[in-house]
Amino acid sequence: MSGTTPPPGSGPGDQENPYAQSGQGRPPEQPWQSAPPPSGPPAWTGPVDGGSAWGDPAVPAEPPPSISRAVILMYVGAAISAVTALIPLLFRGSIRDAIEESDTSLTADEVDAAVNVTVGVGLVVGLIGVALWLWMASANKAGKSWARVVATVLGGLNILFTVLSLSTGGGGIALIVNLISIGLAGYILYLLYRPESSQYYAARSGKQR
């Protein structure tokens, strides 16, 4: 024994000095041991519904009421076109009488041919009208901007030709159908250009880009 006493805390059994600064007497922590490693890839924090992460408006899943009403009225227009296509078939006798009165020099075969042409043209035009109404209803419901432009052109032509046909005279069922067609086309165009409709077209067009 050399007569020297080791300082307190240097022995293996001595406790840690309570007056020592934090971190003294302990091995330093390694930087990679500060937090447990992640157990999987980080979760996606982007938009959920396919919306843009840069602030674009959310794409509406359903059309606004103005578009829905316009689509319903387009189906009504398709039904009117179907009825218009059947009118020549239902009034074949009246068409024959009108042709015979307009030109008494026609033979029976010529009258029959003229009646068949008139009925056939009316049927084809009516079926084309049905197809156009249904096409426009589907495309505008989907919010395609070009469909509104096409509907505007077709609606304008429909109104123009209907007004011209009214100026030539006629009445009865034809007059009623023409007046309904004018009102229907005008109101549909009004609905397609409502502010909520324009917002719907803009949102859907942005999604399709």
Task: Work out the mean pLDDT of the chain and round it to a whole number.
Answer: 78
Stretch 42-67: mean pLDDT: 61
User: Taking the model in full, what pTM does it have?
Assistant: 0.66
8 lies in some domain = no
Give me the pLDDT at residue 4, please.
54
How many domains, in total, are found in the chain?
1
The residue type of 14 is: D
153 lies in some domain = yes
Give me the pLDDT at residue 72, please.
97
52 lies in some domain = no
Range of the domain at 126: 65-208
Q: How far is Cα 169 from Cα 158, in angstroms, rounded to an integer?
A: 17
Closest by CA to 81, choosing from 118, 121, 125, 120, is: 125
> How confident is the model over 106-164, as pLDDT tens digits?
888 888 899 999 899 989 999 999 999 999 999 999 999 999 999 999 999 988 988 88
Give me the pLDDT at residue 64, please.
96
161 lies in some domain = yes
Asked whether 178 and 138 are in contact (CB, 8 A), the reply is: no
What is the separation of C-alpha 208 from the centre of its chain, rounded to a whole number of angstroms? 10
38 lies in some domain = no
Provide the strand spans (E) within the chain: none
